[in-house]
Structure 1
């Protein structure tokens, strides 16, 4: 690795991220059923029909896992709280759930780690899904109630909080493409989910402001889109992909508007009165988080809207089949600051890759991950040199975990997890970061 902590500004935070359902073990502590449990129980949705019932058993092993975070010299731990753990039926508080996040928070603080919470990382309680989930406008108020319950307990000790991780995944990937829970392929459901997820975000921010909390943000997953060829048609479809994936959510929160090229397909299906919600959606935040992994080459596909398809690109790929394109991170940092957020602090809240990561003689060499991190740190340096107000860089993920529809096959962790014994083994990338981030 080329870069060390000394190459970044004073106060720049390095962190590592996880999510509740992917690591905790949802079968413990009184957690209720989620739509991911239901989705995984449906044949062909998830590899090997695997779910998060045990996951990495972080619920019982969190103290040792926090030792790993501290051992790598990370400043911040970005974790998520589970709605279905805090409120198993979506509405009634589970004291065991609050107690767990209380203990986890204290474990971070005892090690000098800054707790950075995300309130929703996709584990919707099944009873909420039964009421329409993200299609139902009432979810914004239900989510605000959940926000109040968990942040009344641990909010006073949080370094930062963001309501919802990756709204594109919550809405489009899950309701239009059907690849994530609830597994719908319905344009009307998609339009409502695309709007309601932002409305819930805004109401959660308002709820936390009412509790006196600060350092509140919004987290978006962004994917760079390039035309697959030089045709006008490909350029238009790449712009539409960019609108759906990136500009819809950034525009809703920071400009109080949705891109016209996306409304051309979704507006007939939007909920009544959607235009009146931007005052809530745009409730001011203190920072903006960017999750970045890859780019896509986009070509026309014909047929129904949106009428585009992804074309395989020529660049080196991760085990997920995603192109490694560090330039896209630089592009997003500069474009987001220029067009959406101005001087508002930016944080790269997720960045990482999946690789095979096999243990040989008790060690795990992961040179592709080391090269990936180094290349993306170079993009951070370029953005900082141009005056982008970048304040932090968090890696995905602390440990190998439940990778949603891919089950336990894809390994994104800096720490290897044996899913039979649950033994943790730090990889070469972990050791390199521990050295480079030392003070």
Structure 2
């Protein structure tokens, strides 16, 4: 039951969106599940043909992973998340680097040699400048762990074409405004002064770590 519950929850984030694009159909196990819940798909003539038009590249955002298990009447999929003691960022996201590798390999196994661009990967830490320096060691460790897993995925044959950190600058976060900092460069929101964080310099010196071109100025 735990496996099926996790499959439903995971499928909602991946197969539900990717199967129509790459296979021209919705995943039947989720179609059946929604039917049990009283929801039926309303697919019009020509919908799937339009959805399944070839794409040039697949963009993936990865910040967080989780462990889950079956729990009846928990959410839409009878599935609950379990806290098993993972470290968390300052926004509360659980840090699960191995999940980065797993999801990329899973995509390759399900959909083949799709060109993938990592459009977001990063962590919130609210370190402030001290004597003109931002020592964000936790962010550096986050990138070390995740770039290692990305390198593993490349070595496993995943067709990674590029990688973007999130974000270059501290900026407006859609749910928390200016209270959460994801940037490699600290921004003083009162003066707009910018201070390159230690993670900026680390990433600049380590930009060849995964064999991808990465430019910093």
Q: Tell me the CA shift for residue 272 of structure 1.
A: 3.2
Q: Distance in 2 between matches of 1:379 and 1:406?
A: 28
Partner of 1:242: 10
SS at match of 1:407: coil
User: What corresponds to 2:210 in structure 1?
Assistant: none
Aligned to 2:185: 415
Matched residues in 1 for 2:16 and 2:45: separation?
14
Matches within 5 A, 1:32-181: none
Deviation at 1:330, TM superposition (A): 0.9
Q: 1:323 aligns with which of 94, 108, 113?
A: 94
What is the CA distance between 1:276 and its match in structure 2? 4.1
Structure 1 Cα separation of the partners of residues 152 and 204 of structure 2: 23
How many residues align structurally?
206
1:293 aligns with 2:60: no
What RMSD over aligned residues (CA atoms) do the two structures have, in Å? Answer: 2.1
1: CA distance, partners of 2:12 / 2:147? 27
1:385 paired to 2:155: yes
Report the counterpart of residue 337 of structure 1 in structure 2: 108
2:131 aligned partner: 361
1:260 corresponding residue in structure 2? 28
Instruction: Give TM-score, length-normalised by structure 2.
Output: 0.85
How far has the Cα of 1:346 moved from its partner?
1.5
Change (3 A) 1:269 1:381: same
2:149 & 2:62 partners in 1: Cα distance? 12
What TM-score comes out, normalization by structure 1 length?
Answer: 0.44
Displaced runs of 4 or more, over 6 A: none
Query: Which residue of the partner structure matches residue 284 of structure 1?
Result: 54
Which residues of structure 1 form unaligned runs of 5+? 1-231
Unaligned regions of 5+ residues in structure 2, if any? 208-213
Distance 2:195 2:44 in 1: 49
- Contact 2:63/2:123 (<8 A) preserved: yes
Query: What is the CA–CA distance in structure 2 between the aligned matches of 1:343 and 1:246, rounded to whole Å?
Result: 16
- Find the aligned partners of 1:274 and 1:320 in 2 and give their Cα distance: 41
- Tell me the CA shift for residue 306 of structure 1: 2.5
Counterpart Cα distance in 2 of 1:314 and 1:363: 31
Cα offset for 1:377? Answer: 1.2
1:315 touches 1:324 (CA, 8 Å); kept in 2? yes
Query: Hey, which of these two has a bigger chunk of helix by percent?
Result: 1
Cα distance change, pair 238–275 in 1 and its aligned pair in 2 (3 A) = farther
Query: Is the partner of 1:406 in helix, strand or coil?
Result: coil
